């Protein structure tokens, strides 16, 4: 594999996301905070990448820029062949809806909808008919067959995150971004959710980029990217640990 002068791997045909010299500044003048200070990284299809770093290192900002949830101050992001930094808000919203799945620490489920309605929500918004065979398979994998009519308040935290995982995968997105997906879960439930994410990569070829502060969560990834002071200080392939759980 060829490399840039920076030592980072050069983009290849299989790279689903390519970030080049990303900067993100908040504020102006002496009060400005440089959350990203020139990050270049590539994220291949079908791979599980964990992004780690101390609080304030820029890891969440990087993920938000990669996912089109935040606009970088400088640099470019190409996702699934589209330079998202050049899109207007409407096109960016459409791309996120059609090509990206999201899993958040706080689950972000709609309280008035049932588990099944939450899972199908991205498809409903897009006006797409669900592939019932795929949805039924997902529901079986996340173990929610008996909880589909329940609203989030009637589910445990682990069950809510399972709904969120199924929702993220329901539209068969090009990539799933997970922001501290086990941050609100106990260790047993965390292991089960991580096992679901690992399985989606190994069995369905899903691409996942996960921000986490938890070394145990990062240990299930194929690759570990570490940030410090808004820069990539380490980018290494690792042997994923098989998580216990589902």
Whether 5 maps to a domain, the answer reads no
231-237 and 223-228: which strand pairing?
Answer: antiparallel
pLDDT band at 241 (very low <50, low <70, confident <90, very high): confident
Whether 176 maps to a domain, the answer reads yes
CATH of the domain at 123: 3.40.50.300
* Domain boundaries, position 182: 45-68+93-237
Residue that wins the pLDDT comparison between 116 and 14: 116
Whether 18 maps to a domain, the answer reads no
pLDDT single digits (tens) 16-48: 999 999 999 998 888 888 999 999 999 999 999
CA 58 to chain centre: 15
The pLDDT, as a whole number, for residue 102 is: 93
The pLDDT, as a whole number, for residue 84 is: 94
Q: Which residue has the tokens 């609100």?
A: 184
The pLDDT, as a whole number, for residue 7 is: 37
Which residues, 6+ apart, have CB-to-CB distance to 41 below 8 Å? 8, 18, 19, 62, 225, 232, 235
Domain count, the chain: 1
Q: What whole-number distance in Å separates Cα of residue 40 and Cα of residue 20?
A: 4
Q: Is there a contact between 105 and 59 (Cβ–Cβ < 8 Å)?
A: no
pLDDT single digits (tens) 122-175: 899 888 898 999 999 889 988 899 999 999 999 999 999 999 999 999 988 999
The pLDDT, as a whole number, for residue 189 is: 87
Asked if pLDDT for residue 3 goes beyond 70, the answer is no
Asked if pLDDT for residue 245 goes beyond 60, the answer is no
- The helix/strand/coil state of 165 is helix
pLDDT single digits (tens) 185-224: 888 888 888 998 999 999 989 999 999 999 989 999 999 9
Whether 151 maps to a domain, the answer reads yes
> Which among 164, 4, 17 is positioned nearest to 80, based on CA atoms?
17
Whether 186 maps to a domain, the answer reads yes
The first and second tokens of residue 8, run together, are 């980072």
> Which among 130, 126, 192 is positioned nearest to 165, based on CA atoms?
192
User: Which helix H or strand E contains 64, and what residues bound it?
Assistant: helix 59-66
Counting every residue, how long is the chain?
Answer: 246
Q: What whole-number distance in Å separates Cα of residue 91 and Cα of residue 89?
A: 6
The pLDDT, as a whole number, for residue 244 is: 65
> Which among 163, 144, 178, 145 is positioned nearest to 59, based on CA atoms?
178
Whether 21 maps to a domain, the answer reads no
Whether 23 maps to a domain, the answer reads no
- The helix/strand/coil state of 79 is strand
Whether 244 maps to a domain, the answer reads no
């Amino acid at each position: 594999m060829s490399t840039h002068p920076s030592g980072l791997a050069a983009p290849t045909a299989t790279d689903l996301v390519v970030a080049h010299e990303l900067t993100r500044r908040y504020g102006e003048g002496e009060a400005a905070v440089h959350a990203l200070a020139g990050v270049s990284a590539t994220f291949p299809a079908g791979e599980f990448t964990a992004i780690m770093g101390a609080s304030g290192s820029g890891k969440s900002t990087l993920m938000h820029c990669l996912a089109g949830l935040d606009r970088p101050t400088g640099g470019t992001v190409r996702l699934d062949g589209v330079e998202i930094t050049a899109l207007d808000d409407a096109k960016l919203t459409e791309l996120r809806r059609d090509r990206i799945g999201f899993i958040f620490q706080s689950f972000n489920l709609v309280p008035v909808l049932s588990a099944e309605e939450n899972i199908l929500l991205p498809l409903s918004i897009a006006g797409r008919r669900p592939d019932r065979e795929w949805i039924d398979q997902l529901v079986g994998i996340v173990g929610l067959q008996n909880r589909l009519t329940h609203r989030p308040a009637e589910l445990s935290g682990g069950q809510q995150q399972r709904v969120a995982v199924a929702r993220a995968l329901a539209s068969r997105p090009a990539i799933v971004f997970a922001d501290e997906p086990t941050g609100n879960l106990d260790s047993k439930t965390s292991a089960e959710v991580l096992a679901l994410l690992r399985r989606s990569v190994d069995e369905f070829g899903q691409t996942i980029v996960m921000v986490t502060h938890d070394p145990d969560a990062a240990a299930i990834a194929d690759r570990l990217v570490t940030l410090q002071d808004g820069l990539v200080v380490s980018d290494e392939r690792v042997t994923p640990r098989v998580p216990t759980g589902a």
